Amino acid sequence: MELSAIVQDIHRLNHQLERFERRYGVMSYTFYESYSAGEEPADDDWVLDFEKWAGLYEVWRDRQQAYEDAVQHIREKQPSLSKVIQVVAA
């Protein structure tokens, strides 16, 4: 996956995560920490939201790592930010 596509994906995921954060009043990393520790939703109506939220957060984390890996790979050949931007824009 190209860096620009990863960045677009991260922005799309941020938007989706933000909807859950606004609805439930906590940041995604706070939610995910409790959810992955096995904490159950207080309301049965939240179950599907929590499953989707957790899945989105996991994909977001994977994309963040892919971004870091891609930037590191580019910087091995092009160490300046300007060069990274030029490579991505090309």
**Amino acid (one-letter) located at 34:** S
Give the Cα separation of 57 and 87 in Å (integer): 28
DSSP H helices, the chain, are 3-24, 28-36, 47-77, 81-89
Say which residue, 62 or 76, is predicted with more confidence. Answer: 62
pLDDT of residue 56: 98
**Amino acid (one-letter) located at 35:** Y
Query: How many Cβ atoms are within 10 Å of 56's Cβ, its own excluded?
Result: 19
Query: How many Cβ atoms are within 10 Å of 57's Cβ, its own excluded?
Result: 20
pLDDT tens track for 3-40: 889 999 999 999 999 999 999 999 999 999 999 999 98
Domain boundaries, the chain: 3-89
pLDDT tens track for 51-60: 999 999 999 9
DSSP state of 50: H
Residue 89: pLDDT above 90? no
Residue 87: pLDDT above 80? no
